[in-house]
Structure 1
Amino acid sequence: MNQKAVFIDRDGTIVEDVPYCNSPRKIRLLNGAGKAIKRLNDQGYLVILITNQSGVARGYFSEETLGEIHNKLREELDCFGAHLDDIFYCPHHPSEGCTCRKPSTGLIERAVEKHGINNNLSYFIGDRLIDMQAANRTGCKAVLVPYAPPETDYFKSDVTPDSRPSFLAGDFTAAVDWILADAAGEAAVSVIIPTLNEEHNICCVLPRLLRVPGISEVILVDGKSTDRTVENALRLWPEIKVINQPGRGKGNAMRVGFEAACGDIVVTLDADGSLAPEELPRYIEPLFDGYQMVKGSRFCRGGGTSDMPLFRRLGNFIFTKMANLVCGCRYTDLVYGYHAFRRQILGSLCLKSDGFEIDTEMYIRATRKGLKVKEVPSYEAKRMEGAGKLRSFHDGARILRTILRESVHG
């Protein structure tokens, strides 16, 4: 069986979530759902609706009415040239203990048998953990929507292994973007973490990172720590790739990590706990929508910081305005190290910096090369323990020299 499919939930996934929807007039497609389903149709995926509809057993509507609702849904999709290849629903009450109500797998199994579907080539998009469970139990990759970072129920809940999605998506369109990239082998994610004597902080960062779906590898570039940083990292994440940094400085560590990364997407994360691993999906998602780099900003709407004294805010403001003026950038935050990018762009950036100025160098060169860059809001917390490595005036001078150099030689 080589037929591939995308199973989709209904309410809250492709249509507005109306509790016990009992009329075709209440069906409203979510923005972008029709076009996204059309893309799946065009790529040869069967698109199959898998939905619990206990409203039948509860007496809120009949199966005949449910059929009319689904006919209306088909009509709505037809306006976009999209279609559902089949619909499977469970009409039973949760107390009946049937084998078809999600998270049970009966509906998916019926679809597989009817259409000759290969689950290893297939995906499931849903908005609840029971959808993820049904997908994982049948061998499909699961995508959870909508994802509202960083304060989302997913990260607040106790997620069991069979409830874990393969990816968190902001909406149905983003889910389809990821599915098509993953199927093409272009969705692997490498996370680079430079470290130097962060034995306590790494014990907080890695468990949080472990909860983020879709990470292919984590590379810890250690700058000759004299404490238990590496030992603690290996204990918490045995598969972590540890590289002993040959040089000095954050920029050198990042460049070493970039060179070692195997993922299609590379993300940088600090080891001090100031950058939230839970935000990582918001950096990755735009890269499946045509962007080549995504950078965080503490000063665009939705961002913030609790770790920046006034004189550093002023310095960042001046550096950002200067880079925008003399280098043609349009950034709101120049000196911030949370970013993600397509690994294939590294060759064009030719990064050389060894210190904290590497972020500035990267952002300016991305603009100069005409790369498609997106800023996303990010919140910077105070580092958890210990003293930071940034030396405000020394590193500020290096950042200034980088801006001036790039303005002349860029």
Structure 2
Amino acid sequence: MKKAVFLDRDGVLNEVLSDRVKFVNKPEQLYLLEGAAEAVAEINKEGYEVFVVTNQGGVGLGFLKEKELIKIHDRLQELVNEIGGHFKEIAYCPHKPKAGCECRKPNAGMLTDLAKRHDIDLRNSVMVGDHERDIEAGIKAGCKTIFIGAEETKADFQATSLMEATEIIKKILR
């Protein structure tokens, strides 16, 4: 079984609720956070598969078409590829926030599904997120967790950015 790194999208890889963009509803509204693409490339170099797991309730609420979301994710992959990184897969929950599905974080459905399909050892993998729901999903899946931000958290580790989290990932997955 393989070790993997699961990343939330908004607030970990790209800007959200910033001066430039409120929500990412079109590919041209996708702005990577400083060092995010480099961090993914660094994790890849260490030999770990990287997955994105993101709640995209805007699809279920009708603010965003699934076709457009796929274009956004293609753009995300493209920007990360330019730096030499790549995602094994980008998984998303398109359901409304209160739909009660298993895939929406804080539930672990996206992580457990990816683990089954890609032979991932969740106990030796890491979930990185900037909301407590990301951390809860990681805990439920049995992963080690890293919180990006300064707020209080249940996460195993805390960092200020994905690049800083990468150093932690390298230490705990060795």
TM-score tier after normalising by the smaller chain length:
over 0.9
C-alpha contact (below 8 Å) 2:43/2:166 kept by paired residues = yes
Work out whether 1:146 is the aligned partner of 2:149. Answer: yes
Work out whether 1:167 is the aligned partner of 2:157. Answer: yes
The equivalent residue for 1:69 is: 72
Change (3 A) 1:105 1:19: farther
Q: Deviations over 1:259-291 (max 9, x none)?
A: xxxxxxxxxxxxxxxxxxxxxxxxxxxxxxxxx
Work out whether 1:123 is the aligned partner of 2:126. Answer: yes
The offset of 1:79, in angstroms, is 1.2
Q: What root-mean-square deviation, in Å, do the aligned CA atoms of Structure 1 and Structure 2 show?
A: 1.1
The equivalent residue for 2:107 is: 104
Alignment partners' CA distance in 1, 2:94 and 2:145? 23
Alignment partners' CA distance in 2, 1:168 and 1:68? 31
Of 27, 31, 34, which residue of structure 2 is paired with 1:31? 34
1:5-404 matches, within 5 Å, as 5-17=4-16, 18-147=21-150, 153-154=151-152, 164-184=154-174
Please report the TM-score for the alignment, with normalisation by the length of structure 2.
0.94
The offset of 1:19, in angstroms, is 4.0
C-alpha contact (below 8 Å) 1:20/1:60 kept by paired residues = no
Alignment partners' CA distance in 2, 1:19 and 1:90? 19
C-alpha contact (below 8 Å) 1:146/1:172 kept by paired residues = no
C-alpha contact (below 8 Å) 1:132/1:142 kept by paired residues = yes
C-alpha contact (below 8 Å) 1:127/1:144 kept by paired residues = yes
Q: Match of 2:58, SS? A: coil
Q: Deviations over 1:369-393 (max 9, x none)?
A: xxxxxxxxxxxxxxxxxxxxxxxxx
Question: Percent same amino acid at aligned positions?
Answer: 36
The offset of 1:49, in angstroms, is 0.3
Q: Deviations over 1:311-350 (max 9, x none)?
A: xxxxxxxxxxxxxxxxxxxxxxxxxxxxxxxxxxxxxxxx
Structure 1 residues not aligned, in runs of 5+ = 148-152, 185-410
The offset of 1:146, in angstroms, is 2.4
Q: Match of 1:40, SS? A: helix
Change (3 A) 1:19 1:93: farther
Q: Match of 2:61, SS? A: coil
C-alpha contact (below 8 Å) 2:41/2:86 kept by paired residues = yes
Alignment partners' CA distance in 2, 1:75 and 1:28? 12
Report the AA paired with residue 109 of structure 1: T
C-alpha contact (below 8 Å) 1:20/1:55 kept by paired residues = no
Alignment partners' CA distance in 2, 1:94 and 1:136? 20
Q: Match of 2:60, SS? A: coil
C-alpha contact (below 8 Å) 2:125/2:173 kept by paired residues = no
Q: Match of 1:55, SS? A: helix
Report the AA paired with residue 122 of structure 1: S
Alignment partners' CA distance in 2, 1:48 and 1:141? 15
Alignment partners' CA distance in 1, 2:115 and 2:101? 18
Q: How many residues align?
A: 170
Alignment partners' CA distance in 2, 1:71 and 1:183? 28
The offset of 1:137, in angstroms, is 0.7
The offset of 1:182, in angstroms, is 2.1
The offset of 1:43, in angstroms, is 1.1
Alignment partners' CA distance in 1, 2:100 and 2:173? 35
Alignment partners' CA distance in 1, 2:41 and 2:61? 34
Alignment partners' CA distance in 1, 2:81 and 2:123? 29
